Amino acid sequence: MRLVFAGTPEVAVPALDALLASDRHEVVAVVTRPDAPAGRGRKLVASPVAQRAEEAGIEILKPAKPSDPDFLARLAEIAPDCCPVVAYGALIRPGALEIPVHGWVNLHFSLLPAWRGAAPVQHAVLAGDEVTGASTFRIEQGLDSGPVFGVITEEIRPTDTSGELLTRLAHSGARLLSATMDGIEDGGLQAVPQPADGITLAPKISVEDARIDWKHPALRIDRVVRGCAPAPGAWTTFRGERLKVSGPVTLLPGSTELAPGELAVGKNSLRAGTGSHDIEFGEVQPQGKKPMRAADWARGARIESGEQLGL
């Protein structure tokens, strides 16, 4: 099939690579978000998908909106058989959906209908799910509600951050998307409507969502730290300034001597109380500084007995 691939961030690149490597399909163009400012200089930078497409010598389309008339006209000229999508980042309207013969097929990082929305991996970690996966489905007007072509499953490990889990899903999902394209071309793969039961939503995680509430149980705090890593990053406050909890925390079930948020400094450790039992920090990132070992930060901050986080 002639394919136009739509995607933007680094997590979409493995799927693009898998389709470029296929001897059954031809990626004739990519659609990606416009260049965006990045870094200290805030210079405009092309998306990871655009950079990979440029390396491969593929036409790159960067519409401000996929409903732009010029974009729709060019897509119609290309006449793709199918448009595979991974984390494109914009809503596909009917005018674009109707152009490819086999529609737009999205790779979504959850077992639909669970975790429909922008942040399925983060919500799976936050909820304490033990298993997640990826699904390919035909895009329609509803939010991630189209019929499903195929799924793969992935175990969520007890120490997984969202970033680590998403990296694994990006590669296993790339193989699923490639196999889905093969099945559509063969004509033997039929999409199955999603069940009406089991729908959960996964809206984008805000900075406020990533704020640690020290009255919560330690297990919940651990999930917030892992679920919000690497972005937006779990955080709290100390002496009126923001403090990111950038590294893993260790649960200490036998230790409950500290009040929620109360700090205790050891020779090579930093602990805090929670709503259940204490935790030990790995890395923290003070405001305006780079991440560092929590024990090193504690020594430099000269933390006094009884000082608390989150006040």
Sign of CA dihedral 188, 191, 197, 201: positive
Count Cβ neighbours within 10 Å for each residue of 245-273 and write b for 16 or more, e otherwise: bbbbbebbeeeeebebbbbbbeeeebbbb
Single-letter residue type at 201: L
As to burial, measured by CB atoms within 10 angstroms (0-12 exposed, 13-18 middle, 19+ buried), residue 100 is buried
Any idea of the CA torsion for 168, 222, 216, 305, to the nearest 10 degrees? Answer: -160
Token reading at 167:
């990296």
DSSP class of residue 244 equals E
Task: Judge whether 311 is annotated as a binding position.
Answer: no
Q: Is 113 annotated as a binding residue?
A: yes
Maximum alpha-carbon separation in the chain: 70
Residue 112 assigned ligand-binding role: yes
Strands (E), 62-113: 83-86, 104-108
| Inter-residue contact 48 to 17 (CB < 8 Å) | no
110 among the known binding-site residues?
yes
Binding annotation: 110-113
Binding annotation for (6S)-5,6,7,8-tetrahydrofolate: 110-113
